[in-house]
Structure 1
Amino acid sequence: MAGHQLAQVNVARLRHPVDDPRLRPFFDALARVNKAADAAPGFVWRHQDPNGHLRGGTLLGDDRMVINMSVWESYPAMHAFVYRAIHGRYLRRRAEWFERVAPPYIALWWVPEGTRPTPEDALTRWRYLCAHGPTPQVFTVRTRFDEHGRRERVTPPPR
């Protein structure tokens, strides 16, 4: 039986139109952050778009929505990159560039090894999470399930 990997989609709304100079630091950092992701332990794949992030105009009906998708070997690998590596430095500045949106803004789910979700597949999962809450089919960082559908014990991050 093939193994599983963790897919994620992150949905956010930019504070300003994409050509606004206030977003320049964010867009300038994308190539550096994406390069670090590509080299991160446990990283498998990320959706690549010429703009860095997939724009949500067509998929979500809002040109200021951006979508980020990736696949990781495990939750700990994804967590280490998202919160501890260079990405974490920019994540702490997200309020400068992104509006606060109603959760969940990230959806996680297990895929068979080698699977690369499409944006449509990812947004279907995200919409299901929004409508039904965390389940073994799609879940959040705080309410996670393992690849067998068993709820994982999640400890709060240290303060």
Structure 2
Amino acid sequence: MPQLALYTFGVLKSPLADPGPLTREFYASGEAVYRRLSGHPGYLAHAEPAAAQQGVLFTADWGAWGEFDVPDWYDKGRTAQTTALATTLSLWTDLRSAFDAVYTGLHREALNRRHDWFERTGHPSHVFWWVPDGAIPTWRDGVSAMEHLHAHGPAPHAFTFHRPFTPDGTPAGLKELKEA
């Protein structure tokens, strides 16, 4: 059975190394959200560097998730002191599970605060695509899907919650997702 890959990307208002209260709140919220998501039904895995260090993304060893990558339009820093982005790459069993995890609980509370932390860029903040069972998506896969979504709109290999596709490429409505 195919699995659902999810790539998220946002440009932060402040670098990850900023000692200010909003950055500390963002980190605290993110850590709590990840702990909760990792136990959510339908969650399978997410990309983690071999040695976790705050703000060290570009030089980290991501193992099977591949070399770290970001969309071409990201134009901020790439060092531990200047990086101003938040991104995730995860695997889910299905769209309904991902929807429930994102739009309920701690993650929903964090979404309500997103404008405190993130710039409004005019680019998508998330993208989904289906991968074969057992496959590990790479950061490059996520960036490619997001760039395709931005340039061409939703397709079976790059879609959103609001314009989803089934594993066989059939368009599915959000209504069907909510009723699943």
Give the TM bin, normalised by the shorter chain: 0.7 to 0.9
Within 2, Cα distance between the matches of 1:32 and 1:113?
Answer: 28
Q: Which has the higher strand share?
A: 1
Equivalent runs, 1:1-150 vs 2, <5 Å: 3-20=1-18, 21=20, 22-49=22-49, 50-51=52-53, 55=57, 59-60=69-70, 61-62=75-76, 63-150=83-170
Q: Is the partner of 2:3 in helix, strand or coil?
A: strand
Q: Is the 8 A contact 1:128 1:138 kept in 2?
A: yes
Q: Is the partner of 1:116 in helix, strand or coil?
A: coil
| TM-score, with length taken from structure 2 | 0.78
Q: Deviations over 1:78-100 (max 9, x none)?
A: 01111112111111111111111
Q: Deviations over 1:46-85 (max 9, x none)?
A: 1114247884797335321222111111111001111112
Q: Is the 8 A contact 1:11 1:66 kept in 2?
A: yes
Q: Once superposed, what is the RMSD of the aligned Cα atoms?
A: 2.3
Q: Is the partner of 1:110 in helix, strand or coil?
A: strand
| TM-score, with length taken from structure 1 | 0.87
Q: Is the 8 A contact 1:55 1:66 kept in 2?
A: no
| Per-residue deviation, 1:31 | 2.0
Q: Is the partner of 1:39 in helix, strand or coil?
A: coil
Q: Is the partner of 1:140 in helix, strand or coil?
A: coil
**Residue identity matched to 1:46:** H
| Per-residue deviation, 1:116 | 1.4
Within 2, Cα distance between the matches of 1:95 and 1:56?
Answer: 25
Distance 1:91 1:5, change over 3 A: same
Query: Could you list the runs of 5+ residues in structure 2 that have no partner in the other structure?
Result: 60-67, 77-82
Q: Is the 8 A contact 1:13 1:98 kept in 2?
A: yes
Distance 1:79 1:54, change over 3 A: farther
More deviation, 69-78/19-28? 19-28
Distance 1:108 1:69, change over 3 A: same
Q: Deviations over 1:84-132 (max 9, x none)?
A: 1211111111111111121322111011112111111211111111121
Count of residue pairs the alignment pairs up: 155
Distance 1:147 1:54, change over 3 A: farther
Q: Is the 8 A contact 1:54 1:67 kept in 2?
A: no
